[in-house]
């Protein structure tokens, strides 16, 4: 409750106002993630990484800042964790480099920023937000995106910052072939899962605004500057205060063709679906019929949230004002 002084009658008038239930949902990739394929130690590390991202993003919301700030903070934390295929944990391309994609979107204004195929930028999610707020454009790519990042004073990291022994071993297995592979290795008994390596977050702040952010290192041994759904507004990321905020993870080509994030929003806006109904229709029905595997997270302005996937598992977490604070990996968690 807040108060307003009414000069006409010399009294204070109480004005009721509603504060939205702050909510943060995150993901760290989806796919064939089975308990039998993860050691207890590795499972603990994944869950700790997810919890750290939840804590960072939720603290932003608790401090009264925006959903946009929260999703950027949560994804920043995941980008800094080499367990996840984004930024520091990005996989190797066919040429032995790291090409990263990211996007961010604000539901209040529908402003968005995205970057595709950028190298050397320590945290692509920061670059995506700078593009949204400072460039006059929605998407930048490649060398131009790097030049803009440098002009904006963002942290630029040397190539060895992105080197990870496990990612390097993945690349070594197939670098002399024409194959590309998702974030997995069939020869490693611990990491044998088929995992779509993307990180993302969606949030609802106390002001009733939603936002979404997504970041990825793409596919191991990818060629030709391949770009997936992550930086494409409407496919891998979307936010609209009238409906929801969505961040996706999966085989990007299918998510692009299905325009997954925007389709979920459209079902809510034009068909009157609830968030969960829309997620189920797109992720569990439409996407499956196309042959697409993966998942998505979403939050609506009323506080409803969803973590929906058609794969065996999805690294995920949710925290909200009711006291819920949970991270999970497998389909039966």
The secondary structure of 218-269, three-state, reads CCECCCCCCCCCCCCECCCEEEECCCEEEEEEECHHHHHHHCHHHHHHHHHH
Q: Is 309 helix (H, G, I), strand (E, B) or coil?
A: strand
Model pLDDT for residues 148-186, shown as the tens digit of each residue: 999 999 999 887 887 665 655 554 555 555 554 454 433
Tokens of 214: 């997504």
Higher confidence at residue 8 or residue 136? 136
Helix ranges, 39-155 (H): 40-62, 67-79, 124-130, 142-151
Find the mean pLDDT for residues 267-295. Answer: 97
Report pLDDT for 92: 66
Report pLDDT for 95: 64
* pLDDT higher than threshold 90 for residue 115: yes
* pLDDT higher than threshold 50 for residue 1: no
Find the mean pLDDT for residues 100-129. Answer: 97
Higher confidence at residue 157 or residue 10? 157
In the DSSP assignment, the letter for residue 156 is: B
Higher confidence at residue 169 or residue 284? 284
pTM of the model: 0.88
Tokens of 49: 């990484």
Report pLDDT for 132: 98
Instruction: Please say whether the dihedral angle defined by the alpha carbons of residues 123, 128, 220 and 263, taken in this order, is positive or negative.
Output: positive
Alpha-carbon gap, residue 78 to 164, rounded angstroms: 15
Torsion, CA 269, CA 274, CA 278, CA 280, rounded to 10: 180
Instruction: Give the mean pLDDT of the chain.
Output: 87
Bridging pattern class, strands 112-118 and 139-141 = parallel
Catalytic annotation, pick one of 23, 66, 93, 198: 198
For residue 198, indicate whether it is catalytic: yes
Tokens of 65: 């800042």
């Amino acid at each position: 409750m807040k108060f307003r002084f009414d000069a006409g009658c010399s009294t204070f008038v109480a004005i009721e106002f509603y504060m939205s239930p702050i909510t943060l949902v995150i993901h760290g990739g989806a796919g064939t993630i089975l308990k039998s394929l993860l050691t207890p130690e590795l499972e603990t590390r994944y869950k700790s990484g997810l919890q750290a991202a939840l804590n960072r993003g939720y603290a932003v919301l608790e401090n009264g800042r925006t959903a946009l700030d929260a999703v950027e903070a949560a994804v920043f934390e995941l980008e800094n964790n080499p367990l996840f295929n984004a930024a520091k944990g990005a996989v190797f391309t066919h040429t032995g480099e790291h090409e990263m994609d990211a996007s961010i979107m604000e539901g209040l204004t529908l402003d968005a920023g995205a970057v595709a195929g950028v190298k050397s930028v320590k945290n692509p999610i920061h670059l995506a937000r700078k593009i949204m707020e400072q460039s006059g454009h929605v998407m930048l790519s490649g060398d131009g995106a790097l030049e803009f990042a440098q002009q904006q004073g963002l942290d630029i990291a040397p190539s060895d910052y992105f080197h990870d022994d496990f990612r390097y071993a993945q690349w070594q297995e197939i670098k002399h072939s024409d194959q590309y592979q998702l974030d997995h290795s069939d020869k490693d008994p611990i990491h044998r899962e088929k995992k779509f390596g993307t990180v993302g977050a969606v949030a609802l702040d106390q002001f009733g605004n939603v936002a979404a952010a997504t970041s990825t290192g793409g596919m191991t041994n990818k060629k030709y500057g391949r770009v997936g759904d992550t930086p494409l507004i409407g496919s891998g990321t979307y936010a609209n205060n009238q409906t929801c905020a969505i961040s996706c993870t999966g085989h990007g080509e299918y998510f692009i063709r299905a325009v997954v994030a925007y389709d979920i929003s459209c079902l809510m806006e034009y068909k009157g679906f609830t968030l969960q109904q829309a997620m189920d229709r797109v992720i569990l029905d439409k996407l499956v019929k196309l042959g697409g595997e993966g998942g998505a997270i979403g939050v609506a302005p009323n506080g409803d949230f969803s973590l929906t996937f058609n794969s065996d598992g999805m690294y995920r977490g949710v925290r909200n004002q009711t006291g819920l604070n949970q991270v999970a990996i497998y389909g039966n968690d």
